[in-house]
Structure 1
Amino acid sequence: MAVRPEGTPCWADAMFSDVEGAKSFYGDVLGWTFGESSSQYGNYTQAYADEKAVAAVVPPMPGQEGQSQWCLYLASPDAAATAGRIREHGGEVLMEPMQVGDFGTMCLAREPSDAVFGVWQGGIHEGFEAVAVPGAYCWAELFTREPAKADSFLCDVFGYTAKQLQDEAIDFRVFDVGGDPVLGRMRMSEDFPPEVPSYINVYFTVADCDDAVATATRRGGVLRFGPHDSPFGRLAALTDPQGANFSVIDVTTTQGERPQAADVT
C-alpha cells in the first residue's frame, strides 16, 4: 500500500482494562478476529477484518488506567517535525516520538481544544490494510466546543484545506488533503453534557447498521444516536461496555443529497 499523504488517518487503537472483553465485544459487533498479542510491545494486539489489519487493542500501561477511548493516528513522513509543529501552534505533545521497532514511529498529542490524537510515521507497518469495507475504519470527526482553535491548529500543522458545510443548523467543517476529504470537525452543541471533553469519534464500516446496533446493545453497549439515514450512509453512535465511544456506518445505504460545502479562506 502506498504511503499515505501527511495528515491522512492511518491507524486506530484503544486501551482496555479488559482486553479479552473488548475482543469479544468488537469481534461480535464488527466481525474482528485478532492476532497474537506482542508482549514485547505491551501486549499490543492487532484486529483484522477479512484478514486485513484494521485496528488494535492493548491493555493500559501502569498509571494510565481509566475510561477507554479510541485514538486516531494521522500519517506523518517525519514524526519529530510534526511534533515540533504541534508545539509551535499551541498543541501539547503527550508522548515524544518513539520508534516502535521496525514498525514505525509514534507520538501522542493534544490539540488546543483538548482532543487527543496520535501521529504515525510508518515503517514496515504503514497503517490500515483496508478501509471503508465491513469491519474497517471509514471516517472520523473531531467534536469540540472551541472549533476556531481546532481549525487553525489542524490546518497549520497538517496543511489541510477546509470546507465549511452550508447548514445553519450545525457548525461542521471538512478537512482535505490533496482535494480528498480526510477528517470532519463538529462543534459540540448543548446536547453534550458539559463534562464530556473534546474527542475524535472514529467510524467503523458495517454491512448492516441496525444489526450492528442490536448486537452492540445486546453485548452491553449504549446507543447514543441513531440509527439514522444520511447521504453518506446509515449510521449510529455507540459507547462500548468499557466507555469508549465509536460509530458504525453502512455506506451502501444512503438517503438524500449530500450537503453543499464552501471553501474556507
Structure 2
Amino acid sequence: MAERTGYPDGAPCWVELATPDAAAVSGFYAGLFGWTCQDQGEEFGHYTMCSLDGRAVAAISPAQGAPPAGAPSSYWSVYLATSDVDAGAATVEANGGKLLAPPMDVPGFGRFAYATDPTGAAFGLWQAGPFSGAQLHDEPGALCWSEVTTTDGAAADTFYRALFGYEQEQTGDGAAFDYTVWRIGGTEVCGRLQMDENWAGIAPHWMAYFAVPDCDAAVRRVTELGGALGYGPFDTPHGRMAVVSDPAGAHFTLCRRPG
C-alpha cells in the first residue's frame, strides 16, 4: 500500500467533503469505496473521519454557512500541505487570493486556513501537527490526483507558483486543451485545467480524484447508491476516468490507473 506519513509543501494532503447531511452521504462512500466512517461526536461538530484498513483517507463534515461563491451546497475541498500556514495565508492575500477562514489551530491535529485563489477556486492549507493528512495515497478508495479547474489558467498558474514555487509544464496544446502539470522537486503532485465553453455555468474549483480498481464497475455502483454519472467513462494516458456526483450533488472523479 502507498502509505504516507508526510507531504512536501504544495502537495495535496487531505480532502474533506462539506455536505448538508453528513450521516446520509457517509453510507454512500462506505458502499462505494469501503470506507469506515466514524462520527467524532458533538464535541468535534460531528466531523466524520473516513478510513481504509484503519488509515485515514478523507473526512465528511456538516456544511457550515454558505458555500464558496458558485459552489454547490455539497462539495469536496482539497488541502495543500504547508510548513507555515500563517506565511501561506499572507502569500494568498498578497497575490490576489482571499482568506475565507484565517489560520487557526485544530487541537491535537494541526493548523489550517481556507481561501480562494484569484479565479474563485476554494482550497485549504494544512500545517501538520500530530496529523499530517491522508495516510494512504493512490490506492483504491484513496485520493490519487487533484487539479484546479479554472476559467483563467494563466492567473491560476501564477498564483499557485507564487504560493508554492511549483515547476509548471504545459502538457496540452495550450489552446484546445490547456493543462499544466505542477511538480515539486521533479515529482508531479497536482495540475491545472483551463475550462472551455463546455464548462459553461460551472464555477472554478479543485477536483478530487479517487482511485478505483474498475472505473466502469465503480460508475455502476455510484448510480446504485443514489449518485449520478456526470461524464464518462473515458480513457486517458493516465487511466480510465469518470466524473460522478454523490446523492447530495458533490462532484468528484473516479480513476482506474493504467497497468
TM-score (norm. length: structure 1): 0.91
Comparing 37-46 with 155-164, greater Cα deviation is found at 37-46
Matched, 1:71 2:42: no
Q: Distance in 1 between matches of 2:59 and 2:5?
A: 21
Deviates more, 1:161-170 or 1:120-129: 161-170
Once the two structures are superposed, the pairs formed by residues 17-96 of structure 1 within 5 Å of their partners are 17-61=20-64, 63-64=65-66, 67-96=73-102
Deviation at 1:29, TM superposition (A): 1.3
**1:148 aligned onto 2:150:** no
Percent of matched pairs sharing the same residue = 38
Measured in 1, the distance between the counterparts of 2:198 and 2:228 equals 17
Q: Separation in 1 of the partners of 2:63 and 2:189?
A: 28
2:190 corresponds to which letter in structure 1? L
1:203-223 Cα offsets, whole Å, 9 max, x none, are 001111111100111222221
CA deviation vs aligned residue, 1:67-111 (integer Å, no higher than 9, x gap) = 110000000101001000000111001100010002000110000
Cα distance in 2 for partners of 1:2, 1:20 equals 28
Mean Cα deviation higher: 49-58 or 34-43: 34-43
User: In 1, distance between residues paired with 2:40 and 2:219?
Assistant: 28
Where 1:132 maps in the other structure, the secondary structure is coil
Q: Distance in 1 between matches of 2:152 and 2:252?
A: 21
Q: Say yes or no: does 1:5 pair with 2:8.
A: yes
TM-superposition CA deviations, 1:22-76 (whole Å, max 9, x none): 1111111111111242422211111012221100001122x33761100000001
**1:237 pairs with 234, 238, 243, which one?**
243
Distance 2:122 2:171 in 1: 24
Deviation at 1:166, TM superposition (A): 4.1
Q: How many residues align?
A: 251
Moved segments of 4+, more than 6 Å: none
Q: How many angstroms apart in 2 are the aligned matches of 1:28 and 1:207?
A: 14
The whole-number CA distance in structure 1 between the counterparts of 2:94 and 2:42 is 35
| Structure 1 residue aligned with 2:229 | 223
Amino acid at match of 2:66: Q
Separation (CA, whole Å) in 2 of partners of 1:13 and 1:80:
21
Superposed CA offset, 1:125-159 (max 9, x none): 10010001111000011111111111100000111
Consecutive unaligned residues in structure 2, runs of 5 or more: none
